[in-house]
Structure 1
Amino acid sequence: MSPSLDLPPKGGFSFDLCRRNAMLQNKGLKAPTFLKTGTTIVGLVFQDGVILGADTRATEGPIVADKNCEKIHYMAPNIYCCGAGTAADTEAVTDMVSSQLQLHRYHTGRESRVVTALTLLKKHLFNYQGHVSAALVLGGVDITGPHLHTIYPHGSTDTLPFATMGSGSLAAMSVFESKYKESLSVKG
């Protein structure tokens, strides 16, 4: 046997749970059923800024394709964006707009404004009429204060004190609706 075959695997799919399910079925027990969770992205404005959050699971139907998928994308030093939808689409559109914002900063010598990122994102998505599968929660702080916006795949937008998107948005929204207060600060 070659030495390279003796090394433990470094990633890839783990069959541990498949083996466990087979063992349970052999003992006459019912194997657990899968639970589709989809994506949950959230944002919240508070007195001192904006908080963005996202899960890290990427799925392909019932299969978890990536347990560590980054769904919070850098746009500018003061602006970030959460993405739900097709991972490649959210990555491509946020990278493109991030590059445009960087060029704008180089040209003007000023910090990017959140409304500039919002305008670039919604124009791009509107031009593709929903064929770019990217639902976004954009948040940041600029000279005018903290901002939070949602951008839908067809290019429509909302400006809200808190926002949720993705298939897990209803559960997250129920928490925000019951717990959110206008005067939230870092201390509580």
Structure 2
Amino acid sequence: MNHFPEQWGRPRDDLYSFIEPSVKPKQLEDAVQHTQSPIVTGTSVLGLKFKGGVMLAADNLASYGSLARFKDVERILQAGDETVVAAGGDISDFQYISELLSNLLITESYATDGQKLSTKNIYEYLCRVMYNRRTKINPLWNSLLVAGLEKGEPFLAYVDLLGTSFKAPTLATGFGAHIAMPLLRKYIDGRENEILEQEARKILNSCMQALYYRDARSLNKFTVASITSEGVKIEKNQLVQTEWKFADMIKGYAYSFLFEDVV
């Protein structure tokens, strides 16, 4: 089936120009169009639970297509006293989500009833927002990780542009779901109540290093957020230690790898 209306023929001359058949119908001139694909995007976000808290990490790169355009973009946002939200995907949509959360927290503070939005409340709010936009066929092109403490217990959950949501001891978005998740599951799953914060940080650093080596849309500068009973601690401009000198010693690696079965 041809899905282009301007190629369906010319049933009425008052809708199509008689001189130029390719002109679109007048009804389509003012049509509202939604984002078909993200433009400036961020890549992976990693999250894990440890004994007494949760930790998130996201690099500071925003790519314009395949161009590493912006290298100082924060994709981790503190929302409330003990909640952090991090996003992969479209940067402008995340800015919109940040504004929604800011307005929500301001409105809640006006209530003066002594109640505060918990991490679970913010997570459920974001689930409704993402699903609502999806049903309007105008999704927010993001994958979000929500981390914090819920009644003193570590809380880590995921929601994406389709409204898909779930919780897990380890989570990742973007390319990290393929590269970092096996490492996180190996070292964390089943041990989230035993691993201390220092060990969790080392594991996250190793995962960010693996992503920098393997993901062309990543950067070796990143932000780490740690949420414990002591509060939210966000460390910016953290660096991954990398080594690329070994590439000079590899001769014909790509050729031999691709054709080793043939040879």
Distance 1:70 1:141 in 2: 22
Residue 106 (structure 1) shift: 4.0
Structure 2 counterpart of 1:143, which letter? K
Q: Within the alignment, does 1:161 sit opposite 2:172 as a pair?
A: no
Aligned to 1:186: 197
Of 124, 128, 131, which aligns to 1:123? 128
Q: Deviations over 1:44-96 (max 9, x none)?
A: 11121110110111101111110111010121121111101100101211331
Aligned to 1:139: 147
Q: Deviations over 1:120-142 (max 9, x none)?
A: 11111111116211110010113
- Structure-to-structure mapping, 1:39-118, within 5 angstroms: 39-107=43-111, 108-118=113-123
Structure 1 counterpart of 2:127, which letter? K
Extract structure 1 runs of 4+ deviating beyond 6 A: none
Aligned CA distance change for structure 1 residues 61 and 47 (closer, same or farther; 3 Å): same
Distance 1:72 1:110 in 2: 24
Q: Higher Cα Rg: structure 1 or 2?
A: 2
Residue 187 (structure 1) shift: 5.2
Residue 98 (structure 1) shift: 3.4
User: Gaps spanning 5+ residues in structure 1: where?
Assistant: 1-36
| More displaced stretch, 95-104 vs 68-77 | 95-104
Q: Percent identity?
A: 23
Aligned CA distance change for structure 1 residues 38 and 73 (closer, same or farther; 3 Å): closer
Q: Is the 8 A contact 1:75 1:95 kept in 2?
A: no
**SS of residue paired to 1:76:** coil
Distance 1:39 1:103 in 2: 31
Distance 1:67 1:157 in 2: 29
Q: Is the 8 A contact 2:145 2:158 kept in 1?
A: yes
Residue 174 (structure 1) shift: 1.8
Distance 1:114 1:126 in 2: 18
User: Gaps spanning 5+ residues in structure 2: where?
Assistant: 1-40, 200-263
TM-score normalised by L of structure 1: 0.74
Distance 1:102 1:74 in 2: 14
Aligned CA distance change for structure 1 residues 99 and 174 (closer, same or farther; 3 Å): same
Aligned CA-pair RMSD? 1.9
Distance 1:141 1:99 in 2: 21
**SS of residue paired to 2:162:** coil
Aligned CA distance change for structure 1 residues 157 and 47 (closer, same or farther; 3 Å): same
TM-score normalised by L of structure 2: 0.54
**SS of residue paired to 2:79:** strand
